[in-house]
Amino acid sequence: MKNYVLGLALAALATPALASGNHAGGHGEKMAVGEPGEKAKATQTIRVTMKETDDGKMLFTPAVFNVRKGQTVKIAIKNAGTVDHEFVLDQEDKILEHKKVMEKFPEMEHADPNSIRLPAGQSGEIVWKFTTDGEFKFACLIPGHYEAGMHGDVSVAGK
């Protein structure tokens, strides 16, 4: 019932983030940041840690990474914090649209290949093929986390 109500609420919003294919429904569209990759084709592993600091900041380490267009990367993510965090990879405008939806529905669960939500102490991974050069973002979109500093940059260089 909860998923049904959430689905109705999301449909009622009809925000561009939903129509763009990087959130519930419409996953068939190609994303500018790339596409899910095959683990066997990964040429690099980037280890990302998510955590909070004693002074109230929330962050990713590293907060910036560089890859090449066409490269498949395994992003190994560890939540070293004490609360849930997520890693969402996308274009900056899509990240900000998604953030607005998350503010309205903070318990929303993701099943997107470009994102993962991890409880404290847990690890996971995203395998991603970067198909377009340019500047992209990753962020934790749990309400308040982005504002606490939990976002970073991905630079994709042409071949």
- Tens of pLDDT, residue by residue over 126-147, are 999 999 999 999 999 999 999 9
pLDDT at 107: 78
Cα 30 to Cα 21, 22, 84, 107, 124: the distances in Å are 8, 9, 28, 26, 23
| pLDDT value of residue 29 | 59
Residues near 54 by beta carbon (within 8 Å), at least 6 away in sequence: none
Residue with the bigger pLDDT between 109 and 37: it is 37
Q: Tell me what pLDDT residue 3 has.
A: 42
DSSP string for 90-105:
E-HHHHHHHHHHHHH-
- Encode burial over 3-29: b for 16+ CB neighbours within 10 A, e otherwise: eeeeeeebeeeeeebbebebbbeeeee
Predicted TM-score (pTM) of the model is 0.81
Q: Which two tokens stand for residue 148?
A: 């606490």
Give the whole-number percent of the chain exceeding pLDDT 70.
Answer: 81
Q: How confident is the model at residue 23 (pLDDT cuts 50, 70, 90)?
A: very low
- Cβ(140)–Cβ(124) under 8 Å? no
